[in-house]
Copies of this chain bind each other. A is one copy, B any other.
Amino acid sequence: MIQRHDDGRVHLGKWEFFIQVLIVLSLIEFAFETLPNLESYWYTFFEVFETVTVLIFTVEYLIRVLFCRPRRVYLFSFMGIVDLVAILPFYLMLGLDLRSLRAFRMLRLFRLLKLARYGTAMKRYHTAFRMIKEELILFGVTALIAVYLASVGIYYFENAAQPEIFTSVFDSLWWAVVTLTTVGYGDSFPVTVGGKLFTSMVVLVGIGIVAIPTGLFASALTKAREEEPK
């Protein structure tokens, strides 16, 4: 049942799949917990489910630590820390107030990353991203400049007309992010002629913000496929 990979890490055979299912179930349970106005017996069920889940994860964690050779490979690996962080909040909460530490539970979500353990397609993504790393950083910096310039611009155009919505450059930053990513919630938009003209120019940049990373990624993947031995 307990096998070992070439790199010394532990593989739990068919139990791996069971644990993946349990991770997904615990994430669904986490979402259900946030539902308001539930009957009190639900909360009892959630507590029991949570306890059982964490116990299974603890056993899994201990097996992985004890059977890994050399031991520190797993203990200090990214997955090892994520696995620890997924169970730690439960034990920390036992002796402390539950409410204040509840936010730490979010870390439990990192269990989901375990799902990414499989898949050889990841290598191709990795190659492509390494290829365009520099361009992505340059694009990111340029996009940040664009967002900042757009925010300051719209602040000057709209602050007088809509002081409640475009109160400061920070509120304008929110507008800029929502507009340049073409989400456009509709909670803040220009009403003055100048602001609308300015926005019209700005959204053209927004198209570029979607077009450039897409183009980068497409060309990198094309190149990555070409270089692969076939």
Contacts and interface: CB of A to CB of B under 8 A. Distances in A.
A112 interface: yes
Tell me the interface secondary structure of chain A in the complex: helix
Interface in A1-56: 27, 30-31, 34-36
A207 B147 CA distance: 15
Contacts of A207: 181, 209-210, 213
A17 to B, nearest CB: 15
Contact of A225 (B122, B159, B223): B223
A185 to B, nearest CB: 4
Contacts of A30: 152, 169
Interface residues of A, number: 80
A121 interface: yes
A79 to B, nearest CB: 14
Contacts of A214: 210-211, 214-215, 217-218
Contacts of A152: 30-31, 106, 109
Contact of A121 (B27, B134, B167, B184): B134
Given A215-B218, A216-B221, 18 more contacts: A27-B148, A30-B152, A30-B169, A34-B167, A34-B168, A35-B167, A103-B156, A109-B152, A116-B142, A119-B134, A120-B134, A125-B138, A182-B182, A183-B206, A207-B210, A214-B215, A215-B215, A219-B221
Interface of A: 27, 30-31, 34-36, 103, 106, 109, 112-113, 115-116, 119-122, 124-125, 128, 134-135, 137-138, 141-142, 145, 148-149, 151-153, 155-156, 159, 163, 167-170, 173-174, 177-179, 181-187, 189, 193, 196, 199-200, 203-204, 206-226
